[in-house]
Every structure is written in C-alpha cells, then in structure tokens.
Amino acid sequence: MRPPGDLVRLLARLHAPWTRFVFILAPMRSGTTLLHHVLADAPGVLTAGETHLTYAGPRDLVRLVQKVYRYERHVALAPRMVVEKCVMNDLVLAPSVLADPRCRTIFMLREPLATVGSLLALGGRAWPHADDPADAVGYFEARLAELRGQAEHLAPTGRTFFLPYEVLTTSPRPALAALGRFLALAAPLREDYGAQRWTGVPARGDLSETIRSGRIAGPTPRDAPALDAPLRARVVAAHDATRALLARRCRTVERPA
C-alpha cells in the first residue's frame, strides 16, 4: 500500500539530511544498470532505478528520497543510502548537488566502440539517435565532455570513484571490495544480486536478459559498429581523454586513495 503523500513529504524532509546519496554517472550502455543492481542489494540501500529527476541544487535531494519512498511503497525508518544514476546531459545535475558532503559519485566507462555499438543496436524506438552513427557519436562525445567537467569540479572533494565496466566484469571481487571501502558499506558487495521492482522496466535501466541473470558476468561481446574512420577516431579520442582524467582525478580499484 502506498503511504500517504503528506507522510512521505514529511519523512523525506526529516531523513534527507542524514542520508548518503550515490550518483552513478556514465554514458548510456556503460554497465550502470548492472552496478545499480549490485548496490541496490546492499543492506540499507534504497533506489527506484533511474528516476529521471533533475537536480538544480542540494534541496532537490529531498525529492529523490520522496520518489524512492513512493516507488518502494513504504517509508523507511532511516535509509542509509539512496542510489541514483544519470546517463543524459539534458537532465540537470548541478555541481552543487554532487559537491554536497552527503554525496558520492561513481564514474563508469566502457570500451568506446562497444559502447557506441550498443547504442546503435538499441534501434530508433528505444533511443532516437540510434539510427544515425553521427548522432550517436555526438551524444557520446558530449556526454564524456560533461563527465570530464564534473570530475574536474569534484576532484578536490575526494568523494569520486572511477569504475571501468571491464574491471567490474572481469575482476568483480577486487572491484567490489574497493567500491565497498569507498562507500564505507557495512557489508561486502556481492557478485550476485536480486531482481528489483524496476528490473526490466522501460526507462528504469537496461532491459537485457544479461541483467536478469542476477550475477556479474564477463563483458558482453559486441561486433564493432559500422563507423567510418573519422567517427571512429572521435569516439576513441573522447574515451581515452576521459579515461585518463578519471583515472588521475578519482579513486580507483588500483589507486584507492
């Protein structure tokens, strides 16, 4: 039964100041739904999948708690952590939100041609740019430019972590151990995970059968996309510049502090 709206709003305002927030930031098709499921299984973590909320300032974090309470159809006594993800630049995420001391940011990247190939495989119904390689590359470049700006802004806070998709899927134990330390979780993160109410729900995350398997598997193989040489060069250059910056400015599996 869905709790009354007035109660949700009241308790969200009371709980938000003591809640930690985790934002997963990446391009689409970079493994964010997989990581989201792993984190959602941790004790004390609440999430509604990808909410598509906008965040103009830290006060909007209360709206996220409200959204999660409504989606979960109960009011938590005190959520330890709320997880959100963002893969689009047109959803406002103000620097002041990520810089809030309650927030931690996890950046994810996947091998560039695999990412763009997965974007193009979505088809126009699932993503309006999937029928045009140039549009897909443009999205990828713009998204990575946004991530670089966010990482540069947040680097002094020490509250950022960089997790490449390939590291998560090929070395899950050390990756999850490092991530658990970064988030100061009370219990270890697990390679297997349960289904959520938002698993396989359109607009909440990845709809693939891989996610439904309930366990971290190796990287999903994908044929290289049909990109001409200039587009391919742009994709690789954007990825390499972003990966280098994130590896240098964020905590990682190899460099925990």
Let me know if residue 105 belongs to a domain.
yes
Look over the chain and give the mean of its residue pLDDT values, rounded to a whole number.
Answer: 88
Let me know if residue 257 belongs to a domain.
no
Domain that holds residue 181: 5-249
- What lies within 8 Å, CB to CB, of 183 at 6+ separation is 20, 22, 81, 104
What pLDDT, on a 0 to 100 scale, did the predictor assign at position 122?
Answer: 80
Instruction: Tell me the average pLDDT across 230-236.
Output: 95
Let me know if residue 137 belongs to a domain.
yes
pLDDT at 4 exceeding the cut of 70: no
Tens-digit pLDDT profile for residues 100-122? 999 999 999 999 999 999 888 88
What pLDDT, on a 0 to 100 scale, did the predictor assign at position 223?
Answer: 66
Let me know if residue 162 belongs to a domain.
yes
The CATH number of the domain holding residue 220 is 3.40.50
Whole-angstrom Cα Rg for the chain: 18
How far apart are the C-alpha atoms of 114 and 30, rounded to whole Å?
Answer: 9
Let me know if residue 199 belongs to a domain.
yes
Instruction: Tell me the average pLDDT across 219-230.
Output: 78
Let me know if residue 256 belongs to a domain.
no
Let me know if residue 64 belongs to a domain.
yes
SS3 118: helix
Number of domains in the chain: 1
Instruction: Tell me the average pLDDT across 42-66.
Output: 91
Let me know if residue 255 belongs to a domain.
no
